Structure 1
């Protein structure tokens, strides 16, 4: 069984989480048994630091700890993505991430994108209503503006759930690959041990044949064959090792 802590600390997982963070403007929080890599992926802000960071980066990345905790509880109890307005005024979302049925963390981010899209749409409706001298609220009700907003939010949740599933699948694949590589390495180690034993057997037989003298011709022949077998197996070990390294290198990409 591959240790989940090992997987979570691997460079592959860190790179993957950083990629998600950059591309989707989200922060990924992962915690597994005896591991917490949140500080390697995204900064955890206390309220004071959060306000500073909000000012510095335009209120995109900073999420306060109380907001995070409440959101996580709600997401877990409702078993779905959750978006809330936290006590710092940020519209943020969270999605739980599982690995083999075990909760290992969440990814969280700025839920303002869906609001931004529906707001732009709402402004267009307002302009159109004003042009034709209609009540904007009546127009919005007629075209189902709130339904459009809900649909936009649902699409965002769908995207978040998909990313969460992708992270879970990726972790599972890394775990399976590591387990397979560990087994191959064990086989390689056993073959190496066998090769060394065969070589020693051949050397010992050759020494025994020399000690016996002319009466040990038969032993000498057997010793030579055993040594050849040991040398052959040892060469195969090198080949197996090369194959393993190629396999690991290919699957790390």
Structure 2
């Protein structure tokens, strides 16, 4: 029993220590975020990688999710003659929850892993040491542009994902479930409120910071060799995904607890 409790305590302390290290890393990143110099070329490259190149996976994820959501709501609503709520529930479900969360998880899968692998490889090949030799702070050069790009682009991706998801639900409802196109669109517009859209964009910004920050943190703290790169990539996606889901819960409570 003592050995079991000791093991649990050790795990808890390890988690708390990891949280502390991430918090310190985030604080240092924030400090560098507001102080010069700024590396514009790195920032533009991160914008391209995180934003534009993520559009296909975000679009496909959103359109299929919106269509499946419409089918499920219609099937469930038909049990108590509430099929007419499909446009309203698809809209609020995509904008408040599914759009931001799924985009965040796709970014974690695609971008966080890429950032972690890239920076970990740079560490293994001593490119980060070379930056220090050239009097370039690694976090200023590698972390800040990527975190700033995540803050800017992921809310835009969430907005695009919300629209595409609603469009996917619209297509299924109109083409397969017999909804009137004009009525469906009118119900969607009437039901959504500015707070719904605001919450979606704020979640996107938070998820973008989490995804890029965890990729940079895991890459900077990776072990040596190919095994270290693989471990950093895996841990970055795991941590980013869990933190995104936790942040979604907290932000939902902030916006909609009343």
Q: What is the TM-score with the length of structure 2 in the denominator?
A: 0.28
Higher relative contact order, chain-length normalized (CA < 8 Å, sep 6+): 2
- TM-score, L = length of structure 1: 0.28
**Higher percent of residues as strand:** 1
Larger radius of gyration: 1
